[in-house]
Each structure stands twice: as structure tokens, then as C-alpha cells.
Chains A and B, each alone.
Chain A
Amino acid sequence: LAKTTQPISMDSYEGQEVNITCSHNNIATNDYITWYQQFPSQGPRFIIQGYKTKVTNEVASLFIPADRKSSTLSLPRVSLSDTAVYYCLVGENDYKLSFGAGTTVTVRA
């Protein structure tokens, strides 16, 4: 599994766009990039996955450059309820998801 590096924490204000960059220099050819969101005392929730270029859904966008050595999760116009920990996962093990420390995003009014 590729090692990932992402910021420990980020602060933002309501209505702003939040971009979290994840570095994964050792990403393998077949690896997908996945992001999970975890609210306090709740289980992680899958929010988006991509392989290359850009993926967008109702929650977020995921930007992946051509070399795929990094990716950026973009949360548009955040609200207080977007305060959570965001995890970047790269690659897959058949039986386990490997969560790192994640990025704690705090949205303030």
C-alpha cells in the first residue's frame, strides 16, 4: 500500500472552499485514491474515489494530476457540519483499509 502524507489539521470559515492535499509518491499503477470522512464518535464514511483527472459528486471533488503522486480533495462552500477528520487512502489490501492520522478540518462561523 502506498504511504500517504496529508496535513494534520486545517481551519476554515463557513462558505469557504477547503482543499486538502494528499501526497502519495509511491502510488502503484493500479491504485485508486479514496477519501473517507469521519465525524466525532461516528464511523468513517466513504466520500469519493478516483483514479485520474477529476471526479465530482454531491459532496466533494477530487483532483488528481497526471503523475498521480498527489491528490486534492476539495470541499466547496463548507459549513459547520463539515467539521470532521478526512482520510486519504491509496491502494487496497484485500481485507483491510489502512487509515492514517487524517486531516482534522475545523470550520468556524
Chain B
Amino acid sequence: EAQVTQNPRYLITVTGKKLTVTCSQNMNHEYMSWYRQDPGLGLRQIYYSMNVEVTDKGDVPEGYKVSRKEKRNFPLILESPSPNQTSLYFCASSSPFRGGNTEAFFGQGTRLTVV
């Protein structure tokens, strides 16, 4: 079954304690992205990756890091989480958005609370 798997689904942590949210896809997609969703602000892209070892900032990258060492995995790293990073996070994968392709596959989400 084609899927994007995020872990953990829920996480409560304290300010400053480094954490990693994992994301894995089994569709051999080139593109992977991280979004955060906040009430009233919608879905905003944090980082994206066009392929292995190629990543770039999205709209709200401050406070986050990513890596793409393998095609299937795209972890999101919060080196020093702060309360304003409390949010619902989604990982997504897709083929390139061109030629009419706009289908992305999203993970189940990770609800992060930083206290």
C-alpha cells in the first residue's frame, strides 16, 4: 500500500530538548516536504527536498532542520524546540509538480506540543 509514515503521532516535549520527527515513503517519490498547520494560518511549507542530498527552505524554515540521505526518508529536526513550534506537522511526498501533476501524498500528521 502506497503510504507516507510519520512518527511519532503525538509528542509532548520541553523547551530546548532536541527532537526528530521521522518521515518515510514507499512510492519512490523524488519530492518530499514538511508542512505545519496552525489554526487560522493554514498549511505552510517548512522545508522541501527535490531529491537525495538536495533540500531547500520553504516559507517557515526558522528553527527547523532537515536531511535527505536516502530517497525514502526525510526527517524533521528541531534542535531547540520552543513553544511557538507547537503545531500539527505533516510530511508529504510526490513526483515533481509539473505537467499537470499536483497529487501529493501526506502522512497522518504529528501533533507536537512544546511546553
Contacts and interface: CB of A to CB of B under 8 A. Distances in A.
Interface residues of B, number: 28
B53 interface: no
Contact of B106 (A44, A49, A101): A44
B106 A95 contact: no
A41 interface: yes
B109 A43 contact: yes
Contacts of A99: 42-43
Q: How large is the interface on A (under 10, 10 to 19, 20 to 34, 35 or more residues)?
A: 20 to 34
Contacts of B90: 43-44
State the main secondary structure of chain A at its contact with B. Answer: loop
B78 interface: no
Interface string B71-101: 0000000000000000010101000111011
B22 interface: no
Nearest to B49: A95
B58 interface: yes
Given A43-B108, A95-B97, A34 B102 contact: yes
Contacts of A49: 100, 102-103
A79 B83 CA distance: 38
B109 A97 contact: no
Contacts of A93: 97
A15 B111 CA distance: 33
6 contacts: A32-B102, A41-B111, A93-B97, A94-B97, A96-B33, A96-B58
Interface of B: 4, 31, 33, 42-43, 45, 48, 50, 56, 58-59, 88, 90, 92, 96-98, 100-109, 111
